[in-house]
């Protein structure tokens, strides 16, 4: 199924005519028709229109762009109290957990000053660290206080990878997507917009998320 087919399928599922759909998304009717008839070439303009459709109707931009395979699965483990980890000494190593990635990382040689806690996991690559999830931009997949485990040696991203990136406002956990020359970072929570990476936006890839540790309810 092409992008054009998914947009058309969404419109029909909502029971809207092209005119009604265009009005709700504030996209010109002619432009919408071009998308549905596969006349709009992939690029920044199409991406922006798809982002607007996704936000308006609360559907994942990943689905509009790529179909059912929205993201690559990251293993999940449920966290336990620190005391429980510390009783399991065989084969477990301490992974430092930080609140934020410090400015200048990875040139900064150590994260020692930033460490807030430890989690204990087996067979982790060297220099792996944990990062607390803050805010609700990745809900419902990740909630405030959950932890992602980051491998800073993995910086070659492909579409659907979950990673940690540093922007001007600080570090952020987002899904990475690329279509042609267009790259964007995607939150899971649909109320947050995509972050379109342009020449004006400085973005540094910190590393890929290789584990997600969710809080035990």
> Per-residue confidence of the chain (217 residues) as pLDDT tens digits?
788 888 999 999 899 999 999 999 888 898 889 888 887 765 556 767 877 888 888 877 667 776 755 555 655 554 444 454 444 444 567 788 888 877 666 655 456 667 888 776 767 787 888 899 988 899 888 888 888 999 998 989 988 999 999 888 788 999 999 888 888 999 988 888 888 888 888 888 999 999 888 764 4
pLDDT of the residue at 112:
66
Active site residue 137: yes
Whole-angstrom distance between the N-terminal and C-terminal Cα of the chain? 39
pLDDT of the residue at 89:
45
Distance CA 87, CA 124 (A): 19
Residue in the structure block whose two tokens are 């220099």: 127
- Exactly one of 49, 159, 171, 174 is catalytic; which is it? 174
Distance CA 154, CA 106 (A): 12
Distance CA 205, CA 156 (A): 9
Q: What are phi and psi of 110, to 5 degrees?
A: -145, 150
For residues 155, 161, 163 and 167, what is the CA-based torsion angle, rounded to 10 degrees? 90
Q: Which domains does the chain have, with CATH numbers?
A: 3-66 (1.10.260.40), 76-214 (2.10.109.10)
pLDDT of the residue at 139:
86
CB 111 within 8 A of CB 96: yes
Q: How far is CA 148 from the centre of its chain?
A: 12
Distances, alpha carbon 158 to alpha carbons 7, 61, 103, 185, in Å: 24, 16, 25, 12
- Exactly one of 8, 49, 137, 171 is catalytic; which is it? 137
pLDDT of the residue at 194:
87
Tell if the pTM clears 0.85, that is, is over it: no
């Amino acid at each position: 199924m092409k992008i054009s087919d998914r947009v058309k399928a969404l419109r029909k599922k909502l029971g809207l005519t092209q005119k009604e759909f265009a009005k709700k998304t504030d996209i010109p009717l002619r432009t919408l028709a071009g998308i549905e008839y596969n006349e709009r070439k992939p690029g920044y303009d199409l991406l922006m229109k798809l982002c607007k459709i996704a936000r308006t109707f609360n559907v994942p931009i990943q689905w509009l762009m790529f179909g059912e395979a929205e993201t690559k699965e990251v293993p999940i483990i449920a966290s336990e109290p620190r005391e429980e980890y510390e009783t399991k000494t065989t084969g477990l190593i301490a992974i430092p957990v930080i609140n934020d990635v410090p400015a200048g990382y990875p040139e900064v040689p150590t994260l020692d000053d930033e460490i807030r806690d430890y989690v204990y996991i087996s067979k982790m690559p060297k220099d792996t660290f944990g990062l607390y999830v803050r805010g609700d931009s990745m809900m419902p997949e990740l909630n405030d206080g959950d932890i992602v485990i980051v491998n800073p040696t993995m910086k070659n991203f492909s579409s659907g990878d979950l990673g940690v990136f540093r922007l001007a406002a600080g570090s952020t956990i987002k899904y990475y997507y690329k279509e042609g020359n267009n790259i964007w970072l995607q939150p899971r929570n649909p109320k947050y917009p995509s972050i379109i990476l342009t020449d004006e936006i400085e973005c540094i890839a910190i590393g890929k998320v290789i584990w997600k540790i969710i809080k035990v309810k």
